[in-house]
Structure 1
Amino acid sequence: MIQTLDLLGSPDPRHVIDRAVEALTAGSLIALPADTSYVIAGLQSHRSAAERLRRTASPRTITCLLFGSQEAAAEHLPRTTTQSERFVRRCWPGPVVLRFVSADADATSGEDRDAAVETVSSFLVPESPVTREVIGLLPGPLAAQIPLERQAALGDPRAFAESAGAEVEVLIDGGPLTANQTPSVVDLSETSWQIAHEGAVDAATLENYACQTLLFVCTGNTCRSPMAEAIFRKLLSERLECRPEELVSRGYRVMSAGLSAAPQWPASPEANELMQKWSLSLKEHRSQPVTPALLAQADAVFTMTEQHRALILDYDANLQDRVRTLSPDGSDVSDPFGGSMQDYEECAVQIKRCLEEIVEEIASGDR
């Protein structure tokens, strides 16, 4: 009979988490909430638990390792590439399974290939706080069977436990999950990536996650950084011989933000007018503030001044290698806000000159 630990009804949720940790450490299989459904999990390093978990596998599930944080998962990844780092940084925590395809798995096909990848090289950092807290108290990751088929019962803790079979001994009842979705699965080889299963995170979002993301930062995100974003899109698309709207499909995402920006403000009238003269448009631009999530997504952050750069690094010194001033010599791009059209023109010319060098760097790196 399955022992139910009622997380929502418990006067002390910590007691539920401790009981789950004890059960897992002793080798029990438990059912617990993940992002898209309940899952069956056991301590990966416990031989008996791992063997019994394998017996619960089906063609409708994927076996993967669950970690409590990006950092913990990164220590166990079979390899690290620029592409895998982007997915780790942008997908997790969240409902995306990353499968690292080995050279041997690349050479096989069909069911053998799937089995090789799923049992050896699939990873997930779930968004569920309780699941991540449980994992964080264990001596190692959990191995889990993740459903890849949408069924209402998968989000109902009691119905899931009843269908799970005799191998499951403990249920963490965190209430019903209403999403009724499956995780997305991304296969990563040494040189490429592909969507193996489209689930809660759609293909367009995953394509954005895969892009090299460049972020331009000023103060209010209404003058300098929007102009830099628009000019850069034009220069890069010309260099790649594509349309600006095709940059994502070519592997580039371009954004701008402001350190003191209020959300949803349009570009300044002067910036709008000048960009129109340059055959560019800021009509759809809306300001956004710099946030931790935005900085985490960016592969490169270009600031208009040294002070902007210093403020970002004061927030997170780990961004040192990804944040630099727009000007290669570290000089500031002066703020034209409140100035004349000539001030805006001089600012845009300075920005364009700096961006031409950055575009050439990117193009040279792609060769």
Structure 2
Amino acid sequence: MTDIIDIRTCDDPRDAIHRVVERLAAGDFVGLPTETGYVLATQVSQTEAVARLRELCGESLVLAVKSAHEAFDLIPVIDKQGERLLQRLLPGPVVIEAKCEDGAGLVTALSRPVRKAVEREGYVRLRAPDQEILAAIQRLTASPLVLSPEPEGPPLASPSALLARYPADVPVVIDDGPPLHAGRCTTVRLGDGDWSVTETGLLDEAAIRERMCVGIMFVCTGNTCRSPLAEAMFRKMLAERLNCSEDELTRHGIFVTSAGISAGYDMPAAAESLALAEEFGLNLARHRSRPLTDELLGRADHVFAMTAGHRDSILSVRPDLAGRIHLLSREGLDIADPIGGGPAEYERCRAEIERELLVVLDTLPIDPQPMRG
């Protein structure tokens, strides 16, 4: 009989996690939540269990990794394009298919049956689920996990759906409620310096291409005055430099955005910024504010803060990003918030931002290239 543990209401979540780890070490199947649905899991070191899971599923399994860095340890022959793709997509709702050369990486140390179980057409299948409970279990297991693939049709959005799909002896299933993004993972196959989507899922090719871009982000407080102006001006400057439309910038490998340290969601640009933008041929009508998140920071290669306070606020929680976070002013000066001021104050702010953006445009180490697709 399967013990379904609701991790949200149980007395001791840590005890539940340790029970799962024990069952995995014993060679059992366990049911686990991911961000897209529920899966069966076993440990890669349990060759017999992996073989049984492969037979039960009837198709290739997926090797679960904790992060892109663990994927590099498993398959070190991934090229620079592949490395960037993994760094931008993992963890997340993506299955990566990568070639594995004999003798290269930890994946070649897997037993032949296990390696065969996680391969499809000669490509090893990897996934880094973005799910807190599963990640906690991964940290405690002695070897990586092997997961069941997502079936065709509706996602397995509950433990009962998982058990109905796979009639097997499953001692324990962790219930963490409905998945955050119920659906299918996108499958991306890595080639020689290239990649292709072989199975479309929650991320389409355009979204992946955007994440692969060199990310440039401007940050202020509320994302309604300074940073939207900087974003709009820089997009226009880049498009003119590259002789393309602003909508085509991602095809040249560049993504420009903005955010606010204390911003809310979906606020329009300030009326004064809208009027000023229109005067200079910029379009802020579609702008909607958004707060600065860890996900946005992860996608940004260059972050330009309007003030030292903004920069220090980011670095206080992400000191590892010190090399990416810069003051927009090359002289180290703050660009003051014009909110509450008159038209002259907004024009002063715009002119300061424009002057600094021209320097960025000429000195930023980016190499725009037409992108695939």
Q: Tell whether the structures are fold-level matches, with TM greater than 0.5.
A: yes
> Counterpart amino acid of 1:134?
I
Q: Where do 1:1-367 residues align within 5 Å?
A: 3-8=1-6, 12-58=12-58, 61-68=59-66, 75-76=73-74, 78=76, 84=82, 87-88=85-86, 90-101=88-99, 114-117=120-123, 120=124, 122-151=125-154, 154-155=156-157, 157-158=159-160, 160-161=162-163, 163-164=165-166, 168-172=169-173, 174=175, 181-189=183-191, 191-361=193-363, 365-366=367-368
> Counterpart amino acid of 1:145?
S
Change (3 A) 1:159 1:342: closer
TM-score (norm 1): 0.81
C-alpha displacement of 1:74? 5.8
Unaligned runs of 5+ in 1: 105-112
Supply the distance in 1 between the matched residues of 2:268 and 2:157 (Cα, whole angstroms). Answer: 42
C-alpha displacement of 1:4? 0.9
> Counterpart amino acid of 1:332?
D
Supply the distance in 2 between the matched residues of 1:347 and 1:289 (Cα, whole angstroms). Answer: 21
Supply the distance in 1 between the matched residues of 2:354 and 2:273 (Cα, whole angstroms). Answer: 14
Change (3 A) 1:273 1:148: same
Supply the distance in 2 between the matched residues of 1:156 and 1:333 (Cα, whole angstroms). Answer: 50
> Counterpart amino acid of 1:353?
R
SS at structure 1 position matched to 2:122: helix
Change (3 A) 1:148 1:329: farther
Supply the distance in 2 between the matched residues of 1:334 and 1:176 (Cα, whole angstroms). Answer: 45
Per mean C-alpha deviation after superposition, the further-off stretch among 289-298 and 307-316 is 289-298
C-alpha displacement of 1:53? 3.5
Supply the distance in 2 between the matched residues of 1:127 and 1:359 (Cα, whole angstroms). Answer: 35
Supply the distance in 2 between the matched residues of 1:337 and 1:15 (Cα, whole angstroms). Answer: 52
Contact 1:150 1:180 in 2 (8 A): no
> Counterpart amino acid of 1:216?
F
Supply the distance in 2 between the matched residues of 1:231 and 1:243 (Cα, whole angstroms). Answer: 13
Supply the distance in 2 between the matched residues of 1:24 and 1:190 (Cα, whole angstroms). Answer: 36
Change (3 A) 1:77 1:325: farther
Change (3 A) 1:188 1:239: farther
Supply the distance in 2 between the matched residues of 1:336 and 1:82 (Cα, whole angstroms). Answer: 42
Question: Deviations 1:115-144 (Å, cap 9, x if unpaired)?
Answer: 321xx3x32222343322222220121012
Question: Deviations 1:257-303 (Å, cap 9, x if unpaired)?
Answer: 22233444332333222221211122222333323333233221011
Percent of matched pairs sharing the same residue: 35
Supply the distance in 1 between the matched residues of 2:177 and 2:274 (Cα, whole angstroms). Answer: 49
> Counterpart amino acid of 1:276?
E
Change (3 A) 1:136 1:240: same
- Measured on the aligned residues, the alpha-carbon RMSD in Å equals 3.3
SS at structure 2 position matched to 1:321: coil
Contact 1:66 1:142 in 2 (8 A): yes
TM-score (norm 2): 0.79
Change (3 A) 1:28 1:313: same
C-alpha displacement of 1:185? 1.4
C-alpha displacement of 1:366? 3.4
Per mean C-alpha deviation after superposition, the further-off stretch among 323-332 and 79-88 is 79-88
> Counterpart amino acid of 2:218?
F
Supply the distance in 2 between the matched residues of 1:26 and 1:116 (Cα, whole angstroms). Answer: 30
C-alpha displacement of 1:330? 2.9
Change (3 A) 1:162 1:304: closer
Question: Deviations 1:298-350 (Å, cap 9, x if unpaired)?
Answer: 22101122332222112211111111112334333344334443443343233
Change (3 A) 1:116 1:279: same
Contact 1:185 1:198 in 2 (8 A): yes
C-alpha displacement of 1:194? 2.2
Contact 1:93 1:127 in 2 (8 A): yes
> Counterpart amino acid of 2:127?
L
SS at structure 2 position matched to 1:271: helix
Unaligned runs of 5+ in 2: 103-118
